[in-house]
Structure 1
């Protein structure tokens, strides 16, 4: 790697060495564990512990190892305050760059400013900020387009008929708001959203939401669910209520999600591979640190609308 490391104050070096000693032998993401020493040191601040986040972490870890990079990781557990604390911890370790899967886009401004003041560049995963001038780069998932692809499937399937649609969102902020916004904006005028409740990316909560939704709207035609883990719980609730005809569209393209499309439990899902996001984030962070002008600052992650017609074309979601 042809990169001149940033000069580190003696106090910071001392802190980093002490942290490495204290963390030796730890393997937990919550403990901000470190991988093997490498030519560059990265910090990865993950947003939660859903299947997506777990696969994203695995991809980041595997790619960092392949690139001979040292990696510290931490989990913000869907809390913006914890995210800032994790970023402050990574700053104290004097990492060369931070990769952040944010829990809330609104909180990013303060996070980025904190890292910038310490001279540590930030690379984002999944979402981009409106102003990218202070950001190293992003592995971007066009979440509005994800929602729009699901809405497009409903429009085609409904074929001009008046239909009722329910939405089981994720946690307010960041990904969920973009997904739901893109979905609603792309629905045809003949589709009426009759319910929109957050499932908090929690299957148990999503099941409760779905039970109430189908009780209030027994004539529901479609449901958009902000990730597949919740979608499986929503399917269970609808089936238990005798509403097996409600068609569910979702997001992620996990192995189980693709299998559910194949079986008919889900009608469609939009694949945005966590493995690809993680690989892109690490590779592009290192390349951009090295001033590689062949790498774009904004890398758009490929999206695939997965239906029964193309289920075998879904990309690999999670690293082995």
Structure 2
């Protein structure tokens, strides 16, 4: 699955889009692919969350008679703005943006507004909902706090040491980590907090250094499951199999890891649900239909005890 400056209010979100997928460097003028609405989907990265989100956007769009152009910013704010400009040049009906950084949003929204093209935001947004068409909201601070709450319950009032493997600074990661830290009990001490950049290889390096510096680590919070698998590998190789990992996404692989005990908990925030909600609501909002401008996506803290409650994460 995976998603901000701590000092900003956030609105959270998901995606909207449509049928016929075209990359930023390839397009089709086949009139049979044209729908009533043309959307530009600017994806933010390359994690399983991003790929599942795009899949959901593409599949749902087929039922909404909409055409979508897609591009990917690969966690680069400059690339994101270039992608926004490219979508504007295509004169899309609306832009769906999975931003890499809330700082990037200011320029994105200004560009789009100047061109008269509304933006539907996913995962993170600015505090002024008047600037956007809508958003499918994932409360990322709550995601982090749910994992922290599990640690509080599991620790049972004992003094414990916690490590954090964050994502990329800005956007989703800061909100996740902020919510996690604020939800920890006073008896939990954060002894390390480093970005894994949503990159498993980087996360493994971070985890190796973390466990070497803190061999008595009790828990680790990892900002997505892809990184969490790499962190688990690093801890196990260092003989730290007892370190309990809590993470985020709810993928099939992540749920299997919870079942096997590799992860102690994960927070399921379905990329499928986000994509479906965003596509349908963005198209409806463009048509001036009555739907919620801000849609809240359900969250589920998943442990061995409630695996069956996890929603489907990625389209088949």
- Tell me, yes or no, if the aligned pair for 2:267 and 2:302 is still in contact at 8 Å: yes
Q: Report Cα offsets for 1:108-158 as digits up to 9, x if no partner.
A: 011011001101000001112111111000011100000000000000000
Q: 1:31 — aligned with what?
A: 25
Taking the TM superposition and a 5 Å limit, the aligned residue runs for 1:186-197 are 186-197=183-194
How much does 1:28 deviate?
A: 6.2
Instruction: Indicate conservation of the 8 Å contact 1:144/1:182, yes or no.
Output: yes
Aligned to 1:222: 219
Deviations 1:201-228 (A, max 9, x none): 0000000000000000000000000000
Are residues 1:144 and 2:144 paired? no
Measure, in 2, the Cα distance between the counterparts of 1:281 and 1:82: 23
Q: Does 1:52 align with 2:64?
A: no
- 2:76 equivalent in structure 1: 79
How is 1:279-318 mapped onto 2 (pairs within 5 angstroms)? 279-293=276-290, 295-318=291-314
* Partner SS for 2:180: helix
Q: Is the Cα contact below 8 Å between 2:22 and 2:69 reproduced in 1?
A: no
Q: What does the per-residue CA deviation read over 1:169-197, in whole Å, with 9 as the maximum and x for residues that have no partner? A: 00000000000000000100000000000
Secondary structure of the 1:166 match is strand
Distance apart, 1:68 and its partner CA = 1.1
Match of 2:154 in 1: 157
Partner of 2:125: 128
RMSD: 1.3
What secondary structure, in the 3-state scheme, does the structure 1 residue paired with 2:122 have? strand
Instruction: Select between 90-99 and 61-70 the one with higher mean Cα deviation.
Output: 61-70
C-alpha distance in structure 2 between counterparts of 1:255 and 1:266, whole Å: 13
Alignment CA distance shift 1:114-1:253 (3 Å) = same
TM-score norm. by structure 2 comes to 0.91
Q: Flag structure 1 segments of 5+ consecutive residues without an equivalent.
A: 1-25
**How many angstroms does 1:107 deviate by?**
1.1
Distance in 2, Cα, partners of 1:48 & 1:154: 29
Q: 2:207 aligns with which of 210, 213, 230?
A: 210
Using CA pairs under 8 Å that are at least 6 residues apart, name the structure with larger relative contact order, 1 or 2.
2
Q: Distance in 1 between matches of 2:58 and 2:264?
A: 33
1:27 and 1:133 map into 2 onto residues whose CA distance is 29
Distance, in Å, in 2 between the alignment partners of 1:64 and 1:27 is: 10
Give the secondary structure class of the aligned counterpart of 1:66: coil
- Size of the aligned set, in residue pairs, is 294
Q: For each residue in 1:2-37, what CA deviation from the matched residue of structure 2 results, as whole angstroms up to 9, or x when unmatched?
A: xxxxxxxxxxxxxxxxxxxxxxxx966453646921
CA distance in 1, matches of 2:180, 2:219: 12
User: SS at the partner of 1:292?
Assistant: coil
In the aligned structure 1, how far is the partner of 2:27 from the partner of 2:160? 50
Counterpart residue number, 2:12: none
CA distance in 2, matches of 1:97, 1:30: 16
State whether residues 165 and 222 of structure 2, in contact with CA within 8 Å, keep that contact through their aligned partners in structure 1.
yes
Task: Report the equivalent of 2:101.
Answer: 104
Separation of aligned partners in 2, 1:206 and 1:275: 25
Deviates more, 1:129-138 or 1:206-215: 129-138
Question: Which segments of 5 or more consecutive residues in structure 2 lack a partner in the other structure?
Answer: 1-19
